[in-house]
Amino acid sequence: NCRNRFSAMAEGDGKHEDMVENMILKMREIEGFTGYVICNNNGIVIRYEGRTYDEAVHLVSGVLGLYQKSKLAVTHLLNPEDSAIENIRLKSNDYELVVSQEGNFTMIATQNFHHVTVGDEEEVKEEVVE
């Protein structure tokens, strides 16, 4: 499980750190992947790529609050056994964020959409980081 791997990496487990490195290498091979942020749930950025440290901190501050509110809302809407959130996908006009949380750690992956012009219309081709 990728989430367990990045959780162990943040705790300093060398074996799991290699697994996280391999996971990140595989994510880099996906067309459209532009970066990631790994943080603890207190908002401390542990590792990032594809943005500055200040941008990573700014992103984390918004995403962690949204993730917690989403978990709370889903808990109220569904039965407890059906209310586990594994990840959240947030789309903007230019990119998508995929947020996954495990224990005290959160990973945010960023990917671009690929705009393809066909005739007079623009289509968006999505590449999803799974």
Torsion angle (degrees, nearest 10) of CA 49, 111, 12, 54: 40
The pLDDT of residue 3: 46
How sure is the predictor about 11, in pLDDT bands with cuts at 50, 70 and 90? Answer: low
Pairwise pLDDT comparison (15 vs 58), residue with the higher score: 58
Distance of CA 109 to the CA centre of its chain: 3
- Amino acid found at 18: D
Split at pLDDT 50, 70, 90, the class of 55 is very high
What are the start-end ranges of the H helices in 29-119? 53-77
Q: Share the mean pLDDT of the chain.
A: 78
DSSP state letters, 73-94: HHHHHS-GGG----EEEEE-SS
- pLDDT for res 119: 54
Q: Give the DSSP letter of residue 12.
A: T
> What pLDDT is attached to residue 14?
63
